[in-house]
Homo-oligomer: A and B are copies of this chain.
Amino acid sequence: MIYLDNAACTRLDEQVLEAMKPYFFDTYAVATSEFGYSMGIDAKEGLERAREGIASKLGANSEEIIFTSSDTESSNTALKGVAWALKEKKGKHIVVLNIEDFPVLNTAKALQKQGFDVTFLDVDAEGFADLEGLKKVITKETVLVSIQQGNQEIGTVQDLKVISEICEEKDVLLHTDATHSFTRLPLNVKEIPVDLITVSAHTIHGPRGIGALYIRKNTPINKFMDGGFQEFNMRAGVENIPGAVGFAKAVDLVTEEETRKIEAMRDRVIEKALSEISDVTLNGSREKRLPQNANLTFHYVEGESVTLHMDMKGFAVSTGSACFSRSLEASHVIRGIGGDHERAHGSVRFTFGRYNRMEDADAAIDAMNEIVTRLREISPLARK
């Protein structure tokens, strides 16, 4: 089986597990025992080295990074934490992009139910945020803007530099969900003054159950996870040190060379599909897109049929986002870029990771060509 879906990035790297092992079997103490004994101190050092690893990748200071259980928790913390901290001091308005992934989108909707006013900012046909619109919707009551770096489904990469300038000028905090872009695209908080950044290990061959949140120093934010005093008293819970160490190792293992290799596979799939198969639309931008993401609509066929036939041929691909596959609802991302239900249902996403090879990309499009041709022959929707 050749995995060109989410699983292309979720397989754990053996070296990550090796890095975690000492913290399973040798240095397994709770890290918080500052006045305790040697193993507790060693455990804490392991945790702090991992924190430095994540911080330096973002150009941040260690004290600005807290570990969480996932990108979902990081985004819950960012949005709810800032909203609650500022609702009395500043206002109850937040802005999120309408094609955000669920952690941001549905946290914003949860805040809406709690009485916050949420603007779901539009995107253009390629998925880029409406920047003129952004300038207009920010008011004195706006406490947070949340705009992702790269889209989970169509791969569009936002211009965070310009977005951060708008937010700075309007004096409003900016959060970005970098779950799908972290390590694959540059993001340095010294150059781009984002205030909060969500990252996760599970998209870069790291362990499940560990994420992090960058919180710029002095950002007003309430605690989301209450309990103990861990993570600078910003996130309670016994520290998942093996997870944090594994996350830092996963970050270390991503190289520029690998990312270029992944990007070349993406480009091959896009170019081959567009040139060899008829009635194909690229979803998202051709230029500014995540290195690991290709998303194409094969018109007159259903994405679900395609993924099943691809599965039988030994290729795993996705239609819509992984979560959407469950609900069979048309993707809010494809609809966000102006696509209709037909375009959403015919969309197929290819994801590339460390274990993929260029031959896989070629073979996948050859298989797609055969499947799409056959499905169109029997489809009542197809142009004959």
Residues 243-268 of A, flagged 1 when their CB comes within 8 A of B and 0 if not, give 10000000000000000000000000
Given the known interface contacts A76-B225, A242-B208, the answer about A311 and B7 at a Cβ–Cβ threshold of 8 Å is: no
Given the known interface contacts A73-B69, A106-B236, A240-B208, the answer about A328 and B35 at a Cβ–Cβ threshold of 8 Å is: yes
Closest to A107 in B: B226
Given the known interface contacts A11-B28, A103-B226, the answer about A325 and B36 at a Cβ–Cβ threshold of 8 Å is: yes
Given the known interface contacts A69-B69, A70-B69, the answer about A227 and B36 at a Cβ–Cβ threshold of 8 Å is: no
Q: Find out whether the CB atom of A325 lies under 8 angstroms from the CB atom of B227.
A: no
A9-37 interface with B by 8 A CB criterion: 10-12, 14, 17, 24-25, 28-30, 32-37
Given the complex of chains A and B, what is the CA–CA distance between A69 and B310 in angstroms? 34
CB distance from A321 to the nearest CB of B (A): 9
Instruction: Tell me, yes or no, whether A6 is within 8 Å of chain B by CB.
Output: yes
Instruction: Tell me, yes or no, whether A163 is within 8 Å of chain B by CB.
Output: no
Q: Which of A32, A210, A227, A326 has the most CB of B within 10 A?
A: A227
Q: Find out whether the CB atom of B316 lies under 8 angstroms from the CB atom of A32.
A: no
Q: Find out whether the CB atom of A32 lies under 8 angstroms from the CB atom of B326.
A: yes
Instruction: Tell me, yes or no, whether A1 is within 8 Å of chain B by CB.
Output: yes
Instruction: Tell me, yes or no, whether A382 is within 8 Å of chain B by CB.
Output: no
B106, B208, B311: the one contacting A38 at CB < 8 Å is B311
Q: Which residues of B contact A322 (CB under 8 A)?
A: 30, 32-33, 36
CB distance from A259 to the nearest CB of B (A): 21
Closest to A319 in B: B35
Instruction: Tell me, yes or no, whether A307 is within 8 Å of chain B by CB.
Output: yes
B3, B76, B207, B238: the one contacting A227 at CB < 8 Å is B76
7 more contacts with CB within 8 A, not counting A5-B33, A35-B326, are A7-B39, A33-B326, A36-B316, A71-B237, A208-B238, A209-B243, A228-B323
Can you give 10 A-B contacts (C-beta < 8 A)? A5-B33, A11-B25, A35-B326, A36-B311, A36-B318, A72-B226, A72-B227, A101-B227, A106-B226, A106-B227
